[in-house]
Amino acid sequence: MRFSAFVALSVVAGVFASPAPQEESPAGRPGGGVRCPNGRTVRNRQCCSWFAIIPQLQAEIFNNQCNKGTRRVLQTFFHDAIGFSPALTNAGQFGGGGADGSIIAHSVIETTFVPNRALGPTIEALRAISIRNSVSFGDILNFANAVGLTNCPGAPRLEFLAGKSNSSQPSPPGLIPGPGNTADAILNRMGDAGFSHDETVDLLSAHTIAAQEALNLNAAATRAPFDSTPAVFDSQFFIETLLRGTVFTTGGPGFAEVLSPLPGEFRMQSDFALARDPRTSCRWQSMLTNSALVASRFRAAVAKLSVLGFNRNTLIDCSDVIPTPRAQINSPRIPAGLTTADLEGFCPGTPLPNMVVAPGPLQTVAVAAP
């Protein structure tokens, strides 16, 4: 017993030459791991302290729901991380530190960026929890994002790597994609940050739990969602962005607003364009009927986003602290009142899948949760 434990430990220690923290494998736990004071088993002792932060996030930001707090944390996480440009670095300028928490550390500067103008309250809530628990701003963004998503049925259980440095510089301006951007501009920007066309589509699954509030201030579009189920992580966003547009939820075209298929739903020009662009349309269409696939692809793309600017091998895998997200029971469908003829296919040579049509009359999409 003693001997085999010693051998196992030596092998592990040999694999990681860096001073990454190692943990004993207590007898009787073949997979390794340690028991935290709360009784939960994790692979690395340093992960135990994260459990206590979960109830703080739930109480102060998410209220245990897939709500505005959850959505804003996800958006804040993206806007922090995408501040990363090898193109700028190659041009001799500072290219940004990626997923470094600079959006919190330098919020005075970064909240002046137009896409961040509504994120102040979210940033302040995260700052308070981060400082109270002595964890870095980069870490709290990843962690809060992973915990928030567990409130959204169907969301993936995200990876969580802890241990980022708390130091950062302000992101350069102009790196966050905008809803009025062309598909070209968005794909170039995401490509600069290291994301393929497919991965860009995978990341846009985020818009299945999203609404607009700061883009268009028209009262009719307050918290107007991008799909009919903004509290569920499903494939509806991909279906509904391919439905023929018929109505302006605001009554007329606002900035970056295009015709939506359902009253109450807001369709952004950028989502419209990427759903139809030949570089992204086939990936888009491949998402229509498989919410589990949407979730698994999103998980992989977010894992990449969350370490932009970092070497993942220097971080500690604390994914086992993240709770299991709620299950999703909806099946993919054409919303009531519309038909399969309203669905437009843009993937050359690949027919649209057979779709279930929800019964009943056309409904106005309800606003997303506050």
User: Residues interacting with ligand NAG, by CB under 6 A?
Assistant: 105, 131, 134-137, 166
What is the spatial distance between Cα 142 and Cα 120, in angstroms, rounded to a whole number? Answer: 17
Determine whether the annotation assigns residue 100 to a binding site: yes
Which of residues 96, 138, 148, 177 is near ligand HEM by CB under 6 A? 177
Which long-range CB contacts under 8 A does 242-248 form with residues at least 24 apart? 242/275, 242/284, 242/285, 242/288, 242/343, 242/344, 242/345, 242/346, 243/334, 243/335, 243/338, 243/342, 243/343, 243/344, 244/342, 244/343, 244/344, 245/272
Determine whether the annotation assigns residue 277 to a binding site: no
Contact partner at residue 66 from ligand NAG, ligand HEM, none, CB < 5 to 8 Å by partner kind: none
CA distances from 105 to 126, 136, 165, 169 (A): 11, 10, 12, 8
> Which residue number is nearest to ligand NAG in terms of Cβ?
166
Strand pairing partners for 224?
Answer: 212
Q: Considering 68, 72, 79, 189, which one is annotated as catalytic?
A: 79
Nearest residue to 48 via CA among 62, 32, 60, 34: 34
CA distances from 99 to 27, 127, 325 (A): 38, 15, 23
Nearer to ligand NAG, 101 or 335 (CB): 101
Interaction between residue 72 and ligand HEM (CB under 6 A): yes
Contact partner at residue 75 from ligand HEM, ligand NAG, none, CB < 5 to 8 Å by partner kind: ligand HEM
Contact partner at residue 178 from ligand NAG, ligand HEM, none, CB < 5 to 8 Å by partner kind: ligand HEM
Question: If you write DSSP's letter for every residue of 55-117 in order, what string do you get?
Answer: HHHIIIIITTSSSHHHHHHHHHHHHHHT---HHHHHTTS----SSSSHHHHTHHHHTTSGGGT
Determine whether the annotation assigns residue 102 to a binding site: yes
Question: How long is the chain?
Answer: 370
CA-CA-CA-CA dihedral for 63, 67, 73, 75, to nearest 10: 180
Determine whether the annotation assigns residue 111 to a binding site: no
Min dist. Cβ of residue 107 to ligand NAG (A):
10
Amino acid in the structure at residue 190:
M
Min dist. Cβ of residue 103 to ligand HEM (A):
13
Interaction between residue 68 and ligand HEM (CB under 6 A): yes
Nearer to ligand HEM, 48 or 126 (CB): 126
Q: Which residues within the stretch 188-247 sit at the binding site for ligand HEM (CB under 6 A)?
A: 203-204, 206-207, 210-215
Nearer to ligand NAG, 45 or 127 (CB): 127
Determine whether the annotation assigns residue 98 to a binding site: yes
Interaction between residue 100 and ligand HEM (CB under 6 A): no
Interaction between residue 186 and ligand HEM (CB under 6 A): yes
Inter-residue contact 298 to 74 (CB < 8 Å): no
Cα 353 versus chain centre, distance: 26
Residue 35 in 3-state DSSP?
A: strand
Q: Which residues within the stretch 116-155 sit at the binding site for ligand HEM (CB under 6 A)?
A: 118
Determine whether the annotation assigns residue 227 to a binding site: yes
Interaction between residue 74 and ligand HEM (CB under 6 A): yes
Determine whether the annotation assigns residue 136 to a binding site: no
Interaction between residue 71 and ligand HEM (CB under 6 A): yes
Residue 232 in 3-state DSSP?
A: coil
Inter-residue contact 318 to 47 (CB < 8 Å): yes
Query: Which of the stretches 40-48, 98-106, 179-187, 334-342 binds ligand HEM when contact is defined by CB under 6 A?
Result: 179-187
- Is 106 one of the annotated active-site residues of the chain? no
Interface residues with ligand HEM (CB under 6 A) are 68, 71-72, 74-75, 78, 118, 177-179, 181, 186, 203-204, 206-207, 210-215, 268, 270, 368
| Residues contributing to the annotated binding site for heme b | 207
- Catalytic center residues: 79
| Residues contributing to the annotated binding site for Ca(2+) | 80, 98, 100, 102, 208, 227, 229, 234
